[in-house]
């Protein structure tokens, strides 16, 4: 099967299945990215790659540190039924949960589910029967409907690009006949010895990362490098006009005058409507941080907190001026991560992935306590990570607290641990606004 066709058709289902199987929602896209990238050749060879991919997915999940499968997003009255099913799933035994999700949501057969879970078919059948009973699903179709309702609570549209490993051949990319795509990005046969490992920085004659660019910005950047650019729309749940990926992909060598296709977002159908607003707001803040867009709406007073530091208040006018945020701010950290390009052991170039969720933050994130004064307010949580293995480090996390006026607090978790700053300032939330 063509790799790009498989990813376009199945990635959303894979991410949602990963969450239903018990993976935290913020980590699921990265887990799926890594699994799909490693399974690129199997996908291209198989008429139906699902059994191989889900077997690899279950293996990857088994190697993860234990996570609380009952961690759920905040209640969303628009899909209370879906959240109720997710709670019921979280209460199942691991094999019961795997059996019902793989057989009735991923549509694997009993034998395929047995191979994926490494359990005997009789045990899988028994686990599935028990799970359906606890989910009050009397038929397979009933179980499928319930799981689809639960899956609709999971946001599954990433923005990053994971490029699978190229074959060990020294062909120029213009002669390559096979392309592979993850999140709309084509893989090219890059002229690189098999023993080479991609550098973490890209040279001027390599396709740059287009993370956090829109179509116009991406086109201008590539044309400055001497490339001939074609824009091609790809249906996705990203906001219209976001640059998704390129063909050839990030890191491919090129010469002036070469052609490059930039895949750009064209918002999909009604399934995307629930995600569109949150992702649009998240990208607006990221564009502002990167100097590629106007300021988002801010409240009269905005509190800035970094890794548990004492909150500092700035005025709306100061918040609209990135230079007024000071050093090591959320804007600085977003700019840093947005420009990162890493490699993994498969000789692949990896650029950031953005996950957006409306949640009540946990009591601790990356070893830092949630601001006590924030209570249990819901936030728009932006998680940016660039890594092939989701467990390699704590991701950059930015929580946007919002009121009717706009953003009234920005809480940053860098993953570097609690701030060592003084804690003797005036009580949180009452400092005089700067600016």
| pLDDT tops 90 at residue 139 | no
The rounded mean pLDDT for the chain is 80
Contact 401, 374 (CB under 8 A): yes
pLDDT of residue 238: 85
pLDDT of residue 69: 53
Q: What is the pLDDT of residues 211-229, one digit of tens each?
A: 999 999 999 999 999 999 9
- DSSP 3-state assignment of 368? strand
**Rounded CA separation 162/178 (Å):** 17
pLDDT of residue 138: 83
Within a 10 A sphere around the Cβ of 29, how many other Cβ atoms? 29
Q: What is the pLDDT of residues 41-60, one digit of tens each?
A: 888 888 899 999 999 999 88
Residue 370's contacts (CB-CB under 8 Å, 6 or more residues apart) are 361, 362, 363, 364, 411
- 69 versus 349: the higher-pLDDT residue is 349
Helix ranges (H only) for 105-252 are: 110-117, 121-134, 140-151, 215-224
Q: What tokens does 102 get? A: 């793989």
**Would you place residue 393 in the very low, low, confident or very high pLDDT band (cuts 50, 70, 90)?**
low
pLDDT of residue 179: 29
Q: Dihedral (C-alpha) 39, 201, 323, 213: value to the nearest 10 degrees? A: -50
**Would you place residue 96 in the very low, low, confident or very high pLDDT band (cuts 50, 70, 90)?**
very high
Q: What is the pLDDT of residues 257-303, one digit of tens each?
A: 999 999 998 876 655 666 788 899 999 999 999 999 999 999 999 99
Mean pLDDT check: name the lowest of 49-58, 132-141, 196-205, 337-346: 196-205
Mean pLDDT check: name the lowest of 109-118, 262-271, 304-313, 395-404: 262-271
Mean pLDDT check: name the lowest of 134-143, 376-385, 422-431: 422-431
pLDDT of residue 324: 93
| pLDDT tops 50 at residue 337 | yes
Q: If you average pLDDT over residues 93-107, what whole number do you get?
A: 93
**Rounded CA separation 54/46 (Å):** 13
Contact 266, 215 (CB under 8 A): no
pLDDT of residue 76: 52
**Rounded CA separation 103/406 (Å):** 44
- 348 versus 257: the higher-pLDDT residue is 257
pLDDT of residue 268: 65
Percent of the chain with pLDDT over 70: 77
Query: Which structural domains are found in the chain, ordered by start?
Result: 3-151 (1.20.140.160), 173-268 (3.30.10.20), 275-413 (3.10.450)
pLDDT of residue 28: 85
**Would you place residue 359 in the very low, low, confident or very high pLDDT band (cuts 50, 70, 90)?**
confident
Q: What is the pLDDT of residues 12-44, one digit of tens each?
A: 899 999 999 988 887 888 888 888 888 888 888
- 190 versus 314: the higher-pLDDT residue is 314
Mean pLDDT check: name the lowest of 51-55, 79-83, 184-188, 204-208: 184-188
| pLDDT tops 90 at residue 401 | yes
User: Residue 255: is it exposed, middle or buried by C-beta count within 10 angstroms (0-12/13-18/19+)?
Assistant: exposed
pLDDT of residue 140: 87
Percent of the chain with pLDDT over 90: 40
Q: If you average pLDDT over residues 102-111, what whole number do you get?
A: 94
pLDDT of residue 326: 82
- Sign, CA dihedral 111-114-115-119, equals negative
Helix ranges (H only) for 21-139 are: 28-38, 40-45, 50-62, 80-90, 94-104, 110-117, 121-134
- DSSP 3-state assignment of 7? helix
Q: What is the value of pTM for the model shown? A: 0.58
The answer, yes or no, to whether the previous bond of 35 is cis (omega within 30 of 0) is no
| pLDDT tops 90 at residue 413 | yes
């Amino acid at each position: 099967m063509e790799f790009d066709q498989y990813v376009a058709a199945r990635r959303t289902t894979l991410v949602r299945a990963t969450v239903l199987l018990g993976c935290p929602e913020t980590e699921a896209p990265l887990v799926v990215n890594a699994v799909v990238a490693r399974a690129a050749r199997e996908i291209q060879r198989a008429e139906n790659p699902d059994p191989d991919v889900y077997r690899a997915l279950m293996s990857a999940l088994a190697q993860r540190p234990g996570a609380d499968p009952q961690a759920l997003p905040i209640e969303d009255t628009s899909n209370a039924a879906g959240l109720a099913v997710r709670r019921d799933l979280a209460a199942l035994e691991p094999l019961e949960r795997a059996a019902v999700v793989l057989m009735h949501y991923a549509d694997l057969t009993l034998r395929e589910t047995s191979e994926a879970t490494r359990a005997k078919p009789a045990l899988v059948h028994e686990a599935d029967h028990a799970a359906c009973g606890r989910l009050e699903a009397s038929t397979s179709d009933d179980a499928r409907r319930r799981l689809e309702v639960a899956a609709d609570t999971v946001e599954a549209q990433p923005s990053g690009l994971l490029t699978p490993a190229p074959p060990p051949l020294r062909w120029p990319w213009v002669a390559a006949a096979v392309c592979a795509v993850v999140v709309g990005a084509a893989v090219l046969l890059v002229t690189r010895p098999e023993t080479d490992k991609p550098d973490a920085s890209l040279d001027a004659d390599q396709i740059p990362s287009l993370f956090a660019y829109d179509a116009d910005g991406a086109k201008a950047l590539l044309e400055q490098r001497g490339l001939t650019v074609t824009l091609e729309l790809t249906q996705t749940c990203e906001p219209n006009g976001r640059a998704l990926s390129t063909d050839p992909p990030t890191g491919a060598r090129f010469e002036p005058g070469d052609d490059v296709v930039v895949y750009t977002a064209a918002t999909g159908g009604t399934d995307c409507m629930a995600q569109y607003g949150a992702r649009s707001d998240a990208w607006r803040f990221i564009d502002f941080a990167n100097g590629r867009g106007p300021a988002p709406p801010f409240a009269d007073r905005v509190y800035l907190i970094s890794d548990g530091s004492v909150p500092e208040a700035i005025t709306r006018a100061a918040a609209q001026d990135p230079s007024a945020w000071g050093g090591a701010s959320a804007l600085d950290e977003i700019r840093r991560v947005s420009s990162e390009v890493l490699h993994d052991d498969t000789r692949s170039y990896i650029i950031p992935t953005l996950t957006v969720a409306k949640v009540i933050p946990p009591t601790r994130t990356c070893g830092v306590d949630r601001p006590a004064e924030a209570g249990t307010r819901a936030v728009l949580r932006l998680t940016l990570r660039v890594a092939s293995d989701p467990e390699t480090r704590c991701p950059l996390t930015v929580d946007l607290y919002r009121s009717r006026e706009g953003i009234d607090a920005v809480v940053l978790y860098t993953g570097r641990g609690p701030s060592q700053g003084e804690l003797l300032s005036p009580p949180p939330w009452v400092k005089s606004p700067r600016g």
